[in-house]
Chains A and B, each alone.
Chain A
Amino acid sequence: QVQLVQSGAEVRKPGSSVKVSCKASGGTFSSYGLSWVRQAPGQGLEWMGGIIPISGTSHHAQKFQGRVTITADESTSTAYMELSSLRSEDTAVYYCADDSRGYFDYWGQGTLVTVSS
């Protein structure tokens, strides 16, 4: 069974960056596909982008073009999502999820990122 464990809550100022990690266990990391999905307070789910660790190929939603960087470190079975030029609207819970089959069958516990001056 795949387990995804994310890094802890973060507080950032507007204009800064944040990097969230997602450590995978219980499977073969190189065979994963991992996506990042966020949820603003009281709002729905929004796919941000994903990565295939074995190839290092990442892709992201057009909305986050130029602001999101998704990477993976096979040696530690960890994926990362870095979001830059933060604004208050980026305050959200950020989830990583296994998308190896296209749908999201395993999820991390979520990381709250708060953007406030």
Chain B
Amino acid sequence: DIVLTQSPGTLSLSPGERATLSCRASQSVAGSFLAWYQQKPGQAPRLLIYGASSRATGIPDRFSGSGSGTDFTLTISRLEPEDFAVYYCQQYSRSPTFGPGTRVDIK
């Protein structure tokens, strides 16, 4: 299985700041088959990014993804109050696996 590691575990930021979340894979993710999800308490995850850099339908352009191989990044250019949540990366080049998540909370 491809193991995904996310850093940092928690990111404490203020609204308006830029958030940079990292996802590292134990081996190369073929085809950049890497997705990002946002999850808020009591809700199902929501797809943000697929194919490492493509925004899902209805996702604001302040969310962007980049990377290839083993290193991927999710960037939120300017945090809005509704962006404080947990973010997971997931690879789908082989049997799906998720990273442990990064919590973005209000500083």
Contact = CB atoms under 8 A, between A and B. Distances in A.
Interface of A: 35, 37, 44-47, 59, 61-62, 95, 99, 101-105, 107-110
A59 B96 CA distance: 11
Interface in B24-52: 33, 35, 37, 39, 44-47, 50
Given A59-B95, A103-B90, A104-B90, A45 B45 contact: yes
Interface stretch (B11-19, B66-74, B97-105): B97-105
Given A45-B90, A95-B45, 18 more contacts: A37-B98, A44-B88, A44-B99, A45-B37, A45-B39, A45-B88, A47-B95, A61-B95, A99-B92, A102-B92, A103-B33, A103-B47, A104-B47, A105-B47, A105-B50, A107-B44, A107-B45, A108-B44
Interface of B: 1, 33, 35, 37, 39, 44-47, 50, 56, 88, 90, 92, 95-101
A109 B96 CA distance: 20
A109 B88 contact: no
A104 B100 contact: no
18 contacts: A37-B98, A44-B88, A44-B98, A44-B100, A45-B39, A45-B90, A45-B101, A47-B98, A101-B50, A102-B50, A103-B35, A103-B50, A103-B90, A103-B92, A104-B35, A104-B37, A104-B96, A107-B44
Contacts of A102: 33, 50, 92, 96
Contacts of B101: 44-45
Contacts, number: 52
B96 A35 contact: yes
Contact of B44 (A46, A99, A109): A109
A99 B96 contact: yes
Given A103-B35, A103-B90, A105-B56, A47 B47 contact: no
A99 B90 CA distance: 12
A117 B33 CA distance: 41
Contacts of A61: 95
